[in-house]
Amino acid sequence: MKTNDQITQPTLMADGLAIYHIGQGEPLFLMPYPHASASAPTVDTKLATLLASLPRQILTFDPPGAYSSTRSGRADLPEMLNCALETLNVCQISETIDVIGHSMSGLCALALAIEHPERVRRLVLVGSVSGFPAVRRWSIPHNWRWCRDREYWQVLWWGFRLFIGWNNHVSNTFSVSAANSFAGLCQNLSRLPAYRSISNGYGDQLCLIKTNEPHR
């Protein structure tokens, strides 16, 4: 893992939002992990390095309140989508663009394709799930009980601290990830009409969605 002195510096800052574009070639938008749900900025992940070597020009951002972004964060799904659109606009991307999301950022990438299909040419979800039914089916043991899970209560506590302003996105990345990304993003995403029809999906490791075709 890179230290704070080694992380990639933003290409530009837009009203406190750290925006990056690395590599050469056709632009590709890499949705960041929501609200610091990782130990390093998305631009410094192995996935970003791999995509830049294709070669593709990778566009991404640090969510508000995380890493190099100094903008105050709301920690919700609309904020992630607005920042994604802002990044594309600042980078002068007017045409549709390929979008990729990994793990929890896949939920944000999926929401971007549903809410703004005019901006997304192709959607690639890597190691993502489509919602809680898929997580319950494949990732959570059937004997799991939230009331007996110490980490569950720890996650709620740090999420509450973040909500009332006692904490920040970077100091407790795991807790922020689970409290805001899993609960908040899934809840917000499930309200989208187009999402309800696919929320019982199995979360394939690689899913390609052509957004110019009607959702089934």
Domain boundaries, the chain: 12-210
Distance of CA 29 to the CA centre of its chain: 11
- Is residue 85 pLDDT above 50, yes or no? yes
Specify the CATH architecture of the domain 12-210: 3-Layer(aba) Sandwich (3.40)
Residue 104: per-residue pLDDT:
83
Q: Residues 3-26: pLDDT tens digits?
A: 555 789 999 999 999 999 999 999
Closest to 125 measured CA to CA, from 35, 43, 204: 204
- Is residue 182 pLDDT above 80, yes or no? no
Residue 178: per-residue pLDDT:
41
Question: Minimum mean pLDDT among 49-63, 122-136, 141-155, 165-179: which range?
Answer: 165-179
Alpha-carbon distance 66 to 40, whole Å?
A: 10
- Is residue 172 pLDDT above 50, yes or no? no
- Is residue 210 pLDDT above 50, yes or no? no
Task: Calculate mean pLDDT across residues 172-197.
Answer: 42
Residue 48: pLDDT band by 50, 70, 90 thresholds? Answer: very high
Output the six-digit token pair for 23.
Answer: 């590599």
Residue 79: pLDDT band by 50, 70, 90 thresholds? Answer: very high
Beta strands in the chain (DSSP E): 12-14, 17-22, 26-30, 56-61, 97-102, 120-126, 206-210
Closest to 200 measured CA to CA, from 112, 138, 143: 138
- Is residue 169 pLDDT above 60, yes or no? no
With contact defined as beta carbons under 8 Å apart, do 84 and 112 qualify?
yes
Helix (H, G, I), strand (E, B) or coil at 126: strand
Output the six-digit token pair for 161.
Answer: 């601290």
